[in-house]
């Protein structure tokens, strides 16, 4: 299976009192890898800014831009065409002993840390520890945690925000894809499995026709270390396939936010977002 997708991601801010200047970073351009090839990608910003691009510490493409004129709103549109052909990893690669080797821990130490954002609550810790004890391999354990979070936490659009901690979503047993990814990451890390947050897009399941745009949204899933990075989508309890488009990776949401920035001026700012996904092949 393979797919070619076009993604148009529009976002930005409106400023209640107007902005005299703004300084921003966008992480909205998909990554190229052996599983997905970026055919075309561009970012358009209005008002027209000064821009610079770089690759961040985690390998994500970043567009930094500055606007030095008064503006009532800032609009950013990323348009990308991506060829995707994922080869699912079906067999475990590492044993628990191999995963605990000092070289693995050293190489992935940052992806074993428990920040407040991903730290699991006590009952999830207990469940993870019990599942670890009965899992023959790290892969079996990781997929078990994904299934556990998917089963226990109900997806509800808008039920939480970008600043919600994993423990809050677990307590209320409802959240969005960001929360489920954070819960899985925390449970894996506490048992010594390096895990990272992935942001991107997912073609809506209802989308069946070619060349027909469908309303979508940003999506999040996880990758865990099993001798290579293996993806898992706890929101849908699946391994990422040809309809998942990877954009950025990091320790948690803070490393991958699509658009961040500061501005000078009076009043508050409001963010707007829309995503359109079209299957081309």
Q: Kindly report, residue by residue over 66-100, the tens digit of the pLDDT.
A: 999 999 999 999 999 999 999 877 777 999 999 99
Packing angle of the helix pair 122-133, 177-190 (nearest 10 deg): 60
The pTM of the full predicted model, rounded to 2 decimals, is 0.95
- Long-range contacts (CB closer than 8 Å, 24 or more residues apart) made by 89-96: 89/226, 89/228, 89/230, 89/239, 92/137, 92/138, 92/139, 92/140, 92/226, 93/139, 93/226, 93/227, 93/228, 94/137, 94/138, 94/139, 94/225, 94/226, 94/227, 95/137, 95/138, 96/137, 96/138
pLDDT level of residue 238 (50, 70, 90 thresholds): very high
Res 262: pLDDT: 96
Say yes or no to pLDDT of 167 above 90. yes
Domains, the chain, in order of start with CATH, read 3-85+258-279 (2.60.40.2250), 96-255 (3.10.620.30)
Tokens of 198: 């992935």
């Amino acid at each position: 299976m393979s797919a070619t997708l076009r993604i148009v991601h529009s976002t930005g801010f409106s400023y209640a009192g107007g902005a005299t200047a703004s300084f921003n970073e966008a992480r909205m351009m998909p990554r190229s890898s052996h599983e997905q090839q970026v055919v075309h990608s561009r970012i358009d910003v209005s008002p027209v800014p000064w821009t610079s691009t770089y690759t961040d510490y985690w390998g994500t493409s970043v567009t930094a831009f500055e606007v030095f004129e008064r503006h009532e709103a800032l609009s950013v549109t990323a348009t990308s065409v991506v060829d995707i052909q994922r080869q699912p990893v079906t067999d475990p690669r590492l044993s628990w002993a191999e995963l605990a080797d000092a070289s693995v821990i050293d190489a992935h130490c940052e992806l074993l840390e428990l920040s407040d954002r991903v730290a699991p609550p006590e009952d999830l810790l207990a469940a993870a520890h019990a599942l670890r004890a009965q899992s023959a391999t790290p892969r079996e354990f990781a997929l078990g945690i994904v299934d556990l979070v998917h089963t226990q936490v109900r997806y509800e659009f808008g039920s939480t925000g970008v600043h919600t901690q994993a423990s809050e979503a677990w307590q209320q047993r409802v959240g969005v894809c960001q929360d489920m990814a954070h819960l899985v990451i925390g449970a894996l890390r506490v048992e010594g499995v390096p895990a990272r947050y992935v942001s991107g897009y997912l073609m809506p399941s209802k989308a069946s026709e070619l060349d027909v745009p469908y309303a979508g949204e940003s999506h999040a899933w996880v990758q865990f270390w099993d001798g290579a990075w293996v993806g898992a989508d706890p929101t849908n309890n699946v391994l990422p396939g040809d309809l998942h488009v990877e954009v950025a990776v990091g320790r948690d949401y803070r490393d991958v936010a699509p658009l961040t920035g500061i501005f000078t001026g009076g009043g508050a700012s409001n963010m707007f977002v829309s995503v359109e996904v079209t299957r081309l092949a």
